[in-house]
A = this chain, B = another copy of it.
Amino acid sequence: MTRPQKQSGRALAEHLNPGVHEALTLRYGHILPGMAETISDVAYGEFYGRPGLDLKTRYVATIAALTAQGGQTRPQLKINIAAGRKAGLSQIEVAEVIWQMALYGGMPAAINALNAALEVFEEEDAK
């Protein structure tokens, strides 16, 4: 059976993170063939592209989770903050989501993630 939603997975990936598929293929394709396809198909096709929750709210969830985990995956947190901004989150909404995580992941984790957000916002302003 064909899985037509996969096409929209790839398209959604490209819309939210332009160039992501090619960048992943170039960086990881030699050692993990098919990894870029899996990310598009899975993250975007099977999860972000699901009905039932709008994209903006999905990024609230993602930013909250990566913050509460301690911001140890800072590059990916920054990519998701940037994508969340594209999906409609204001800078203040991003900051509020992160700051609230002080209650669940601790204050150091929240401050750590706020610093990542400030870097994303500065890059936006620099454009």
Contacts and interface: CB of A to CB of B under 8 A. Distances in A.
Interface of A: 1-3, 6, 27-28, 31-32, 34-35, 38-39, 41-43, 46-48, 50, 52-53, 57-58, 60-73, 75-77, 91-93, 95-97, 99-109, 111-112, 114, 118, 121
Given A39-B107, A68-B65, A47 B99 contact: yes
**Residue among A28, A53, A118 with max Cβ neighbours from chain B (10 Å):** A53
A116 B77 CA distance: 17
Contacts of A104: 62, 65-66, 69, 106-108
Q: How many copies, total?
A: 6
Contacts of A61: 60-61, 63-64, 97, 100-101
Contact of A103 (B27, B91, B106): B106
Given A2-B2, A70-B69, A35 B106 contact: no
Contact of A53 (B28, B42, B96): B96
A103 to B, nearest CB: 5
Given A57-B93, A71-B73, A108-B76, A65 B28 contact: no
Contact of A71 (B28, B67, B72, B114): B72
